[in-house]
Amino acid sequence: MDRDETASGELAAGHVDWQDPSTLRWVDKPAQVDAAFDRGEEFVGVAVIALALNYCDPDVVLPIVARALESQDQEVRRQGVVALAHVARLHRTVDRRCLGLLRDCPRGNEADDDLWSFVDHRELPLWLWRHHLGEWLIWLLRTGGVVERPSPATVGRGRTRDRSGGRRRDRTGDAHRSKRMRLE
């Protein structure tokens, strides 16, 4: 190539090489992806997935994911589903527009499962509940609806499960009693 590329796949002039999908994994500017949609770039779906992984504000990313879900190109729609799954996993959120567009996709896709796993169930529509109702009922019957939750003081401090009857130990060896919560 006669142009000088950086390691992140961006050209020295600040433009992305849209002809090489392997360089699109570092896309982190929503304006670049919107412009690629406007130009009808072939690999815009790859850039949507990269944006979902690399951009920190889901309120900015979700409208672009919705644009991918609305695409006439089946591959871009599939990549939009993957991007929505990444947003759900990383940010634990989704918007109503993406949920409405996802409803038209076949069930059992990546986004269905990640939304169910990572987004608060109260925020999810009834059609997604129906899709996961069977596995939820099996879980409920097996566990009796008991979920162990660590106390607020121990959350995020590297606690690991100890075999000493519900006690958790942190890295210093201090034991903490975990709280049990019954689902209603």
Q: Which DSSP category does 14 fall into?
A: S
- pLDDT reported for residue 155: 52
Return the pLDDT at 172: 53
Quote the pLDDT of residue 4: 40
Residue 106 · residue 79 · CB < 8 Å: no
Q: How many domains does the chain have?
A: 1
Rounded distance between C-alpha atoms, residue 76 and residue 69, angstroms = 7
pLDDT score recorded for residue 87: 97
| pLDDT value of position 78 | 96
**pLDDT value for 153:** 58
Best CA proximity match to 123, nearest among 79, 90, 88, 148: 88
Cα 142 from Cα 184, distance rounded (Å) = 15
Domain encompassing residue 104: 1-125
Within-domain flag for 176: no
Per-residue model confidence (pLDDT) at position 42? 93
Q: According to the model, what pLDDT value does residue 162 have?
A: 46
Does residue 140 belong to any structural domain of this protein? no
The model's pTM is 0.68
Q: Is 161 inside a domain boundary?
A: no
Is 1 inside any structural domain?
yes
Intervals of the chain under pLDDT 50: 1-13, 159-166, 169, 176-184
Q: What span, in angstroms and rounded, lies between the C-alpha atoms of 59 and 151?
A: 30
User: Could you tell me if 45 and 68 are in contact, meaning their C-beta atoms sit under 8 angstroms apart?
Assistant: yes
Task: Give the pLDDT of residue 3.
Answer: 37
What pLDDT sits at residue 23? Answer: 85
Residue 3: CB atoms within 10 Å: 9
Domain assignment present for residue 158? The answer is no
